Amino acid sequence: MKMTSTTWAASFAVLACALTGVPYAHAEDTVKAGDVYVTATRVEKELQQVPMSVTVMTAEDVQRSGARTVGELLEDVPGVQIQNDGSQGLKRVSIRGEDAFRTLVLIDGQKISEHKSMSGSPMLIDASRIERIEVIKGPASVLYGSDAIGGVVNIITKKGGEKPVEGEIWTGFSGASRGFSEGMAVRGNLDGFKYSLSGSYSDQGDIHTPEGKLDNTNFRQTDASAFLSYDFSEHFTMGAGLDYYKGAFNSTAMNNNTGGNRFFVNVPKWARTKYYMFAEGKDISEYLSRVRFDAYYQKNEKDMRNYVGQADGAGSTSMNGMPVSYLSADVVMDNYAHNIIRSRGFSLQTDWQLGADNYLIAGYELNYDRLNSDGRTYLDNNITMSPMMSIAIHKVTDKFYDGNQLNQSLFASMESQLPWNLALTYGVRWTHVRTELTRGEEISNPYTGSMHMGPMTRPMFDKSGMVEKRALGDDTASRPVFNVGLVWTGIDDLALRASWAQGFRVPNLTEKYIGTAMGGGTIYGNPNLDPETSNNFEVGARYNPGNLSLDAALFYSIADDYIASVLTKSGSGIYTYTNVADARTFGSELSAAYRFATEYGDFTPYVSLTWMRRQYDDGAGWKTFDTATPEWVSRYGVRYARAVAENVDFHADVYGRSQSETVYRTAAGTSDYDLGGFTTANVALGFDFGKERRFSVLAEVLNIFDKRYQYNPAILEPGLHANVKLSYKF
């Protein structure tokens, strides 16, 4: 990889500062778990009291990170894997081996739905607007509903402020994509009125890897928000807001861009617009502690072009059942799609204090998604039979799909204080889902074939107006799911936890009725699909005395009725979604840090470590542990913080990231891969200075030794690069 003189200069400058003592610190260096409050149980409580594994990222963590996307921000969370599908700008997450379809993404507690994708729900929000991210690991279907088999990523945005006027302004540069980002936010609290306004923009170029620049990986994103609420009294608040996000992304697969083959996906527009409102009453009576009502409308709109070009040498195929040999074959397929998902939803939650020892949360949720999908496919297949003879087939297909999914649920969760410093949490959610396809048409027009013999052309067929209608469908599924959790706090600063939780996921419209075509194969929907289910068992401990922070967990998960694509006939390239697969996942997670306070500053060695094994059973007698789940993932290093002057703090982090090999095997062996393990060396540093430390400078050098590595086979991750971020709070 060739580095420009500017990049080398920036890298050496950052390293020089690191060697002279510039530090980096995270909030957890000085904040105990007992001082951290989360909403993972749908009510704010101390993290130490939560009976499940939760990782919290704060606004300070976001500020002190050069991450370009939320996906990059989460890549070091224990139990979390990043999925990029060939795109550096549109990263998704999987939790404890469960993919993005089985990971629920919420923004302020409200779901981002996805019914027309092969990769699951994206996180359509800019990281700069985040107040806190709570990553809940393991099934959370009782508290949050369908899709939460692997876990939940709940993104909580900044709203209001403490002073009449406050905010920040920032700008940053990413060396991985030679791109810039900038933004501004204003918020405040004035006589009971809380408000906030924000806007940001990021323009990132193609990714730079140890093997050079990779085309078709650039992206842009725009984010804006507005919020206003009013405290009518200390007991009652109402508010409303607007979120807007628009991204433009390119994706590719580097192994498909050689030898005459070509593949890329262009998404010129993926926009999310949400309007929402809420009303909350507190301390309503002796027993009714809180009532919260939320309602929202969200439009998720995507334009996409998928280009596949495939060139083959001599081979054979069949036409009308007859074997045909050829010298070469060229296939070009362009897929265009315009998808809109309109989501409407509301929830009502009530909190009850039932005596001194029982706290009940009960409520109702409704989410209604409506999908409108229009698409067009161009197929050109040119087969050279001999130097004098060839066959050309041209086909244009228009596709129209309309459908909806209505999800309703009742939930209740009780926490009871027991003797001997025990707290018992137990809950149930009953979910009823109706999934309906109201239109499904594929119209081929024109559909022509011709044979070329020297200068002569002879038509083989000419068909137009061929309409293939998909069977319309209307199906319902309902199920109760349960959880039980126990926390013991009999020793100061120690919390031992154990839990059992069920997961539940209803098939989306694509899996149920529509199907999809991608990369040379066609997968058809299956109206007879059953929901996926899982059972998760976990034991863990949190210990936070003084300067030590420790969180450890052991987990075991059993997932049944997995939805997988099954080949209908050998060599046909036709697949069907089917409930055939099971998965068993077990492992451990550890996060540990200890702060040494010295006269030379605070040193905090830390480590986060995940060990995980996942076995996949295809239901036909084939099992494997090679499920694209690395056995070991870790981050480890030393943070340093020191006040170097009256109004200047400085902070640094020198750390490594390590991951064992990632191996994926299928029964057919058609998409196997093996990605080697890796270790990268990194350093981050920064200054906070001025009155109340309002000015901040962050600089990073990542992948210092220009290590070649991948999270998945689609694209390489960035090589040696430097990031810089400047911000000012007012």
First to last CA, the chain: 41
- State the pLDDT confidence band at 521, using cuts at 50, 70 and 90: low
Cα torsion through 487, 491, 492, 497, rounded to 10: -20
Instruction: Summarize the confidence of residues 487-492 as an average pLDDT.
Output: 93
The amino acid occupying position 159 is: K
Residue 21 confidence (pLDDT): 33
Instruction: Summarize the confidence of residues 319-327 as an average pLDDT.
Output: 62
- For residues 254 and 214, the answer to whether their CB atoms sit within 8 Å is yes
Instruction: Summarize the confidence of residues 707-724 as an average pLDDT.
Output: 92
- For residues 611 and 631, the answer to whether their CB atoms sit within 8 Å is yes
State how far the alpha carbon of 180 is from the alpha carbons of 172, 349, 473, 669, in Å: 6, 42, 47, 42
Residue 36 confidence (pLDDT): 63
Residue 730 confidence (pLDDT): 92
Strand locations in 419-531, DSSP E?
A: 422-453, 456-463, 466-469, 473-488, 494-505, 516-518, 521-524
- State the pLDDT confidence band at 468, using cuts at 50, 70 and 90: confident
**Bigger pLDDT: 134 vs 297:** 297
State how far the alpha carbon of 663 is from the alpha carbons of 624, 666, 676, 711, in Å: 10, 10, 8, 11
Residue 318 confidence (pLDDT): 59
Among the listed residues 220, 218, 216, the one whose alpha carbon sits nearest the alpha carbon of residue 176: 218
CA gyration radius, the chain: 27
pLDDT tens digits, one per residue of 231-287? 999 999 999 999 999 999 988 877 665 556 677 788 999 999 999 999 999 999 999
Residue 312 confidence (pLDDT): 67
Instruction: Summarize the confidence of residues 220-237 as an average pLDDT.
Output: 96
Instruction: Summarize the confidence of residues 655-673 as an average pLDDT.
Output: 87
Q: Where are the alpha helices (DSSP H) in 426-465?
A: none
Cα separation, 369 vs 342, in Å, equals 6
Confidence check: pLDDT of 519 > 70 = no
Residue 610 confidence (pLDDT): 95
pTM of the model: 0.86
Q: Maximum distance among all alpha carbons in the chain?
A: 93
Strand locations in 19-83, DSSP E?
A: 37-38, 45-46, 53-58, 80-83
Can you tell me whether residue 60 is helix, strand or coil? helix
**Residue 646 burial (C-beta neighbours within 10 Å; 0-12, 13-18, 19+):** exposed
- Spell 434-471 as b/e; 16+ CB within 10 A means b: bbbbeebebbbeebebeebeeeeeeeeeeeeeeeeebe
pLDDT tens digits, one per residue of 96-154? 888 888 888 899 988 888 888 767 788 889 888 888 888 888 877 777 777 778 888 88
Cα separation, 408 vs 430, in Å, equals 8
Cα separation, 694 vs 595, in Å, equals 25
The count of residues in the chain is 730
Cα separation, 526 vs 514, in Å, equals 8
Q: Which domains does the chain have, with CATH numbers?
A: 5-729 (2.40.170.20)
- State the pLDDT confidence band at 554, using cuts at 50, 70 and 90: very high
User: Percent of the chain scored above 70 by pLDDT?
Assistant: 88
Residue 7 confidence (pLDDT): 40
Evaluate the CA torsion angle 455, 458, 459, 460 in order and state its sign.
negative
Look-up: residue for tokens 């074997």? 323
Mean pLDDT of all residues in the chain? 85
Residue 317 confidence (pLDDT): 63
Confidence check: pLDDT of 31 > 50 = no
Instruction: Summarize the confidence of residues 4-19 as an average pLDDT.
Output: 37
Look-up: residue for tokens 């036709």? 574
Evaluate the CA torsion angle 81, 85, 91, 94 in order and state its sign.
negative
Residue 24 confidence (pLDDT): 28
